[in-house]
Amino acid sequence: MYALVVRPPFALRTSAAEADPTLGPLLPPPFLSSRHTLVVSLTQDGVTYLHSKNIIHRDLKPENVLYRTPPGSHPDVGHDDLVLSDFGLAAYVERNGGRLYTVAGSAGYSAPEMYPEEGVVNGQGQGRGYGLKADVWSLGIIGASFFRSPGSSHRLH
């Protein structure tokens, strides 16, 4: 798997990355520590960098935010070493408000504008489309998921 390395200063660089199964889930709910806030902040930094290059990820979810090293193993740097992964659905968005119409990503994390009232035909939304802000919705769902109780089946949107 290839991933975007997320650490300041930001440089678009890919490297081989694998989730380490011994580390356990990225962020088990419920929200209990400042580590969760740090993960959302670092993920937001990575998304901000992608958006500065007009790239939309379109599949942001906890499974696509990986630790490259065990949490807390970089006290000298002051933050954990995270990567955004799975760029298979990523796309370039035209500058100045470009729109995409292909329904993509994981339904529980996808922005509502990907599923327009006008319907979807052959994987293409028939509405006004979506832009970079769709990733911001997904990031919000990731953050909100920290407030769910273990075993909760509540939909967040």
Domain boundaries, given as residue ranges, for the chain? 2-6+29-145
Q: The pTM is what?
A: 0.70
State yes or no: pLDDT of 32 exceeds 60.
Answer: no
State yes or no: pLDDT of 28 exceeds 80.
Answer: no
pLDDT (0 to 100) of residue 33: 62
Q: The domain 2-6+29-145: what is its CATH number?
A: 1.10.510.10
Active site residues: 59
Lowest mean pLDDT among 34-43, 80-89, 110-119: 34-43
Contact call for residues 157 and 138 (beta carbons, < 8 A)? no
What contacts 24+ positions apart, CB below 8 Å, involve 45-48? 45/6, 45/8, 45/10, 46/4, 46/6, 46/10, 46/82, 46/84, 47/84, 47/135, 47/136, 47/139
Q: What is the pLDDT of residues 43-84, one digit of tens each?
A: 899 999 999 999 999 999 989 988 877 766 767 766 667 889
pLDDT (0 to 100) of residue 147: 67
